[in-house]
């Protein structure tokens, strides 16, 4: 029999569902009670929260995850998490500087599987950058194969290139990682452990710099000279009160791997004090002469910001300056850069003003650029924009921490070794007794107990003397284990001397460790000694020059004004020729051209279209070519769009003259050409009603104007009757059109009887 409904609280859900109720009413009642109970249980678990609060918290959690676990470096080792994991993984795989190279794909896959589950491209890109010596002052990875180039060439695929750690990574980042110097934390799936930080012995954040974009913030830290950074760190060790100015006596500014010049030295102090600012960087230019005595400018170093496709863009910028006559003294540009260094050669005309050319290059190209300095890093678990003294403060604190942990761990190992060595030395004196114990014991455990407690029960000795000596033994467990594992070969005389010698050295080491751990001053000396050793091994001369350059002044040479005949053919290709060439071939050129405009190189030409637009065209932008040159489409050098517009008139800009505008809806107006003497490339030339187009634009001569419609109504009146209006006006009625009629013709002469403007006209 099923239980009654009032026993519901004691029923499990499975039991209830499996019951076979004889009474349908009883079943219905029971199920209703069960539903109410389930709803009550659910309501107890519902949390009443504000939606905006949930979104805010989720966004903050996401932001902090990106900031601390992805995008920003830690001030202590100068690495982002992905970089730290790559280096640690390579060390765990044994891909060190003295071992063969391993495939990058192998490193990337292992790092992704164990520590960084964020996609192979992000890991591969980070690894490649750590191997590029034009981005890092001290590369962390030794690359073998195509790892890209300073000119922006991409690295080969991960399966084709190989790598291993550099000595810098091993000795600066990893040398003490086995000495319990840093904390280890579970990886993302808690199957492995990874270091929370690497025990870095140098201020790598400054030496190699960093860049990254987080949520709502970004970091941009330039590279610095290793020797100068270490000297500043040593000074800070001795002078923890040091300010920015004091540190800059040792660390004057960034040192980029590309060399170049920092041109605003006076601004660096404020930048280092605030942790942000703008550093002006420029390339290095030297003058040379070829065998023929012709001069050339050679760019031997580029600004750090030009790395990558910036070199190609710079070459294009110089070519544009040559083409638009800003740098007419440059006759040729060639990029002769190679693996040996940057070499961009600019061939010059004889007698060129080298100083002015340099100034133009700095002013009008990226040969001088701005590096946005923003020293944002993770300090004590949170992002912080750090002044220079704060960077060294955190570094020094970190050094004392890892050295303290290192020597404490070494001291523990030394005490354990001391205990073992003392046991071995004692065992040597009673070696015969120990042999008796081993031979007379039935188990290792029995022998070990005898060595530790002197318990000789059930052990057979050959002599009473040996048994008596055995009863007096009291080795520790560690000593007993080492005695039991002792090889007989170690009982040779030389081995015994070696044990005694090691023991004496061990006592000295213990004394040293205790002295270092007991005195901050002694520990400071040890840190300084290690800094000096690493500086001597890895330092190199400064590459970037630091100066205070004055404001760049460009000598604006007056533009040479030359006569030119502008030719525009029926396909709207435009070109310029010398007037002498035109006169010599006048008949041919007139036949080929729809517009022939004699002008000068400092003038402008206005292109009027049927959509009511006026496009300004600078004569100097028109290609100046040979007789057989085709020219260039007007579209390419003006705002004219041949797909939606038709050219109505092309005229030189002569502000003193007037034009008559005629639109297809019968309106006319007079406009001064001076209205189009504006800086904008394209402006409206007239206002048009819906569906209307500009029919004609005629020079104002003071004669008559004849208009004829599609329905053959015509009118002729004096041009003086046309009102003078601005370029945005619609105009006045010239011919009053019937519904559906439009203007088709406009000319300054005709046979129609003269009448007044605005009439209906005569049927022709």
Q: Under 8 Å CB-to-CB from 508, ≥6 apart: which residues?
A: none
Distance of alpha carbon 460 from the chain centroid: 78
Whether 686 contacts 612, CB under 8 Å: yes
- Active-site residue, selected from the candidate residues 51, 62, 115, 160: 160
CB atoms within 10 A of CB 407: 22
Q: Under 8 Å CB-to-CB from 612, ≥6 apart: which residues?
A: 684, 685, 686, 687, 688, 693, 694
Residue 585: phi, psi to the nearest 5? Answer: -125, 35
Q: List helix spans (H) across 618-707.
A: 634-637
Residue 638: phi, psi to the nearest 5? Answer: -150, 180
End-to-end CA distance of the chain: 115
Q: Under 8 Å CB-to-CB from 292, ≥6 apart: which residues?
A: none
Q: What token pair was written down for 245? A: 């100015």
Whether 79 contacts 169, CB under 8 Å: no
Task: Give the integer Cα–Cα distance in Å for 755 and 763.
Answer: 14
CB atoms within 10 A of CB 507: 13
Task: Give the integer Cα–Cα distance in Å for 482 and 500.
Answer: 16
Q: What token pair was written down for 55? A: 């979104």
Task: Give the integer Cα–Cα distance in Å for 188 and 117.
Answer: 8
Q: Residue holding tokens 């005569």?
A: 762
Distance of alpha carbon 588 from the chain centroid: 57
Task: Give the integer Cα–Cα distance in Å for 396 and 394.
Answer: 6
Strands 141-144 and 162-165: what pairing?
antiparallel
Q: Residue holding tokens 């990226």?
A: 366
Q: Residue holding tokens 């071992």?
A: 99
Strands 261-262 and 545-546: what pairing?
parallel
- Integer CA distances (angstroms), 127 to 68, 85, 629, in order: 19, 10, 52
- Integer CA distances (angstroms), 466 to 429, 488, 496, 597, in order: 13, 19, 22, 126
CA-nearest of 120, 134, 138 to 79 is 138
Task: Give the integer Cα–Cα distance in Å for 485 and 502.
Answer: 18
Active site residue 160: yes
Coil vs helix vs strand at 138? coil
Long-range contacts of 422-427 (CB under 8 A, 24+ apart): 422/479, 422/503, 423/475, 423/476, 423/478, 423/479, 423/480, 423/482, 423/483, 424/479, 424/482, 424/483, 424/486, 424/490, 424/499, 425/499, 425/500, 425/503, 426/475, 426/479, 427/475, 427/479, 427/483, 427/486
Q: Under 8 Å CB-to-CB from 598, ≥6 apart: which residues?
A: 563, 564, 565, 566, 579
Please give the angle made by the CA atoms of 108, 113 and 119, to the nearest 5 degrees. Answer: 60
Coil vs helix vs strand at 733? strand
Enumerate the active-site residues.
Answer: 160
């Amino acid at each position: 029999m099923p239980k009654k409904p009032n026993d519901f609280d004691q029923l499990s859900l499975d039991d209830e569902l499996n019951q076979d109720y004889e009474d349908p009413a009883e079943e219905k009642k029971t199920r209703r009670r069960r539903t109410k109970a389930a709803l009550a249980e659910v309501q107890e678990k519902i949390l009443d929260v504000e939606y905006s609060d949930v979104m805010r918290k989720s966004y903050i959690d996401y932001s902090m995850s990106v900031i601390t676990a992805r995008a920003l470096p830690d001030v202590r080792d100068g690495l982002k998490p992905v970089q730290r994991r790559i280096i640690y993984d390579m060390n765990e795989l044994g891909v060190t500087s003295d071992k063969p190279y391993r495939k990058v794909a192998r490193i990337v896959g292992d790092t992704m599987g164990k520590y960084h589950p964020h996609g192979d491209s992000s890991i591969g890109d980070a690894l490649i950058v750590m191997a590029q010596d034009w981005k890092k002052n001290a590369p962390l990875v030794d690359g073998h194969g195509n790892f890209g180039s300073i000119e922006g060439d991409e690295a080969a695929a991960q399966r084709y290139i190989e790598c291993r750690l550099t000595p810098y990574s091993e000795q600066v980042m990893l040398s003490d990682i086995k000495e319990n110097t840093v904390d280890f934390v579970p990886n993302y799936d808690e199957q492995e452990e990874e270091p929370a930080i690497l025990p870095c012995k140098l201020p790598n954040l400054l030496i190699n710099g960093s860049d990254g974009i987080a949520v709502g913030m970004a970091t941009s830290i330039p590279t610095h000279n290793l020797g100068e950074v270490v000297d500043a760190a040593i000074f800070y060790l001795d002078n923890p009160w040091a300010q920015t100015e004091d540190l800059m006596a040792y660390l004057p500014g960034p040192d980029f791997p590309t060399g170049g010049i920092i041109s605003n030295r006076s601004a660096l102090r404020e930048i280092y004090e605030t942790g942000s600012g703008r550093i002006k960087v420029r390339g290095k230019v030297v003058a040379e002469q070829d065998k023929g005595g012709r001069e050339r400018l050679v760019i031997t170093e580029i600004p750090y910001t030009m790395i990558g496709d910036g070199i190609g863009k710079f070459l294009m910028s110089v070519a544009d300056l040559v083409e638009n006559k800003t740098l007419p003294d440059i006759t040729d540009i060639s990029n002769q850069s190679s693996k040996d260094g940057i070499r961009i050669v600019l061939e010059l005309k004889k007698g060129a003003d080298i100083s002015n050319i340099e100034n133009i290059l700095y002013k009008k190209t990226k040969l001088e650029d701005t590096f946005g300095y923003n020293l944002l890093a993770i300090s004590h678990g949170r992002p912080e924009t750090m002044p220079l003294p704060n960077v060294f403060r955190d570094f020094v604190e970190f050094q004392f921490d890892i050295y303290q942990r290192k020597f404490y761990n070494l001291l523990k190992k030394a005490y354990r070794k001391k205990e073992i060595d003392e046991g071995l030395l004692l065992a040597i004196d009673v070696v015969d007794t120990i042999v008796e114990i081993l031979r007379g014991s039935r188990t290792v455990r029995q022998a070990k107990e005898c060595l530790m407690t002197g318990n000789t029960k059930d052990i057979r000795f050959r002599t009473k003397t040996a048994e008596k000596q055995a009863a007096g033994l009291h080795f520790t467990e560690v000593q007993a284990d080492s005695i039991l594992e002792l090889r007989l070969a170690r009982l040779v005389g030389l081995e015994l001397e070696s044990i005694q010698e090691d023991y004496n050295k061990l006592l000295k080491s213990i004394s040293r460790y205790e002295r270092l751990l007991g005195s901050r001053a002694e520990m400071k000396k040890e840190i300084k000694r290690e800094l000096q050793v690493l500086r001597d091994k890895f330092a190199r001369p400064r590459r970037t020059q630091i100066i205070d350059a004055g404001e760049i002044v460009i000598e604006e040479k007056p533009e040479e004004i030359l006569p030119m005949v502008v030719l525009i053919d029926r396909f709207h290709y435009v070109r310029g020729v010398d007037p002498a060439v035109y006169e010599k071939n006048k008949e041919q050129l007139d036949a080929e051209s729809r517009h022939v405009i004699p002008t000068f190189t400092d003038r402008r030409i206005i292109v009027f279209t049927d959509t009511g637009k006026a496009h300004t065209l600078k004569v100097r932008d028109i290609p100046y070519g040979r007789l057989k040159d085709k020219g260039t489409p007007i579209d390419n050098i003006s705002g004219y769009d041949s797909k939606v517009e038709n050219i109505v008139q092309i005229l030189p800009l002569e502000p003193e003259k007037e034009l008559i505008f005629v639109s297809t809806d019968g309106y006319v107006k007079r406009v001064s050409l001076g209205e189009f003497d504006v800086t904008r490339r394209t402006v409206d030339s007239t206002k048009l009603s819906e569906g209307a187009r500009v029919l004609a634009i005629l020079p104002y001569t003071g004669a008559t104007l004849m208009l004829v419609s599609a329905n053959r109504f015509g009118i002729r009146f004096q041009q003086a009757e046309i009102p003078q209006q601005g370029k945005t006006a619609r105009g006045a009625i010239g011919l009053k059109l019937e519904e559906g009629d439009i203007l088709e013709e406009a000319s300054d002469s005709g046979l129609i009887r003269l009448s007044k403007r605005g009439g209906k006209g005569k049927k022709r």
